[in-house]
Structure 1
């Protein structure tokens, strides 16, 4: 069982019963259908500053073989994804750009020293690929440099997921640590002149709620995450919390509209335009019976396409929710 499957199981354990009426986001836009979003698992969109290059995770359905790939938009079309120069050998996942686009962070089970063993960790009696935080830096010729391990206590335990980087260099991530309770929580490692300080748990309330996959506003005015605060429509939904006067975080709010559905949503990532949000979801259209009779080719196309229940990347707009809470471009 993968770490992600254990996390989703934890979400399911505290989820409310989903309503019978479909809440699928009719106006949400599937990113690159058939090219970026396919019948495999795609999550964790990370856009370069120009918005025309996207790095993301592509995986098998069991998420045992994670690889970071990228696609480029030319003349309005996304190119066939290519494996990132730094990926393809290890269990690499969850890419995230620094706001200036000069670094691309990701998590990996690759050994800390050349020739060493890959990282392993465990939870609830299961062993699976561990994760530490790494980054690559943009070189003068535009290529990525050699992966650099991020030193510091944030990598303790080899269970760090979904980094998100603020403009000042602070790194938000999700992890299971000594002060997480039984589930996963969100942490921040603040950047200092001496490196990264020890992680601080972001206080979002009751630790009985699972919280994963933070996406921090570059100015740290709000944070998005995946979880269930007691009103999730499915196994996990996307929530937002706004920073209050004095620096504390407000109560997490369930995002409405096109963001969430009765299926799984996770891995939120901010795009390069104001209010642009990308989420991973396994939402799919309802099947009504009797259905139009399939032949073998149509059945193969439908069951292997992007809306077959695998996770895909969807674009949604949360600009109204941001403006309603005093957030301006």
Structure 2
């Protein structure tokens, strides 16, 4: 089971963020849901709180790091219905709130003023959020799974390529003179191999990360990074290495809004002892990225 397909196909868009239940939860205090930050060894993020035995789990912080969204999906047809939720930080404590069934977590612009849902977006207003707007027909024609934005408004997006044998293409779209251009493929330094998906662009556009399958990888899909060069071109893809990638599938890279930690998903054996695997969220110090950055 591909991480990318699971994250998207079982989580239809529902733009309703009113809570309907307040669930019991352990007392979580301090930053990062009260979790002890990792060093340069990848660790599961919030086991038993975010990661579960029942479902696949993925999560991300809002730009102000006051909300953590958790989206979940079924690994097997007989699993109970997944429970998506969010944690809101009030003072020093995190409060867990269940979300309506089918709610899909948004992706945000770095300034938090825009949130994206595949080929659509909303802008923050004085009263909350605007109505959904389309990014345009060219975006609607692509089966987008993941979309990420830079501080300049550049979007990088993938596509569900399962119907194309898994050969996904990553695309980008800039805002030029106030007008958004149609998405165009990134160069072969990035779009090489099989299953290129789940991109993350740094707010300053200095690098793009994504997961993909290449013969040079550690096994299944690995996480790669490409740094932007002085002339604006994207450098050769660099495997994040054995501290992140294993024989299992890794994917969905993202850096916390404060720039300190890399979050990603990894397929691991079921926690309940049954045969098979589940997707858990991991984190590691983002210094691993800086160690790969080319020296000038």
Superposition TM-score tier, normalisation by shorter sequence: 0.7 to 0.9
Residues 107-143 of structure 1, C-alpha deviations (whole Å, 9 max, x = no match) = 3xxxxxxxxxxxxxxxxxxxxxxxxx223333436xx
**Partner of residue 156, structure 2:** 172
SS in 2 for 1:50: coil
**Which of 166, 188, 207 in structure 2 is aligned with 1:204?**
188
What is the distance in 2 between the residues matched to 1:154 and 1:104? 19
SS in 1 for 2:141: helix
**8 Å CA contact retained: 1:72, 1:78:** yes
CA shift in 2, pair 1:73/1:249, >3 Å: same
1:103 and 2:114 aligned: yes
SS in 1 for 2:85: strand
What is the distance in 1 between the residues matched to 2:244 and 2:175? 31
What is the distance in 1 between the residues matched to 2:76 and 2:129? 30
Pair member with larger Rg: 1
**Partner of residue 56, structure 2:** 41
Unaligned stretches of 5+ in structure 1? 8-24, 108-132, 286-300
1:316 and 2:288 aligned: no
**8 Å CA contact retained: 1:99, 1:165:** yes
- TM-score (ref. length: structure 2): 0.73
Compute the displacement of 1:47 (Å).
1.4
Compute the displacement of 1:323 (Å).
4.6
Q: Which has the higher contact order (CA 8 A, sep 6+)?
A: 1
What is the distance in 2 between the residues matched to 1:52 and 1:242? 29
- TM-score (ref. length: structure 1): 0.66
Compute the displacement of 1:257 (Å).
4.2
**Partner of residue 44, structure 2:** 30
Over the aligned positions, Cα root-mean-square deviation in angstroms equals: 3.6
Match runs of 1:176-325 below 5 Å = 183-193=167-177, 195-205=179-189, 207-284=192-269, 302-303=272-273, 309-325=277-293
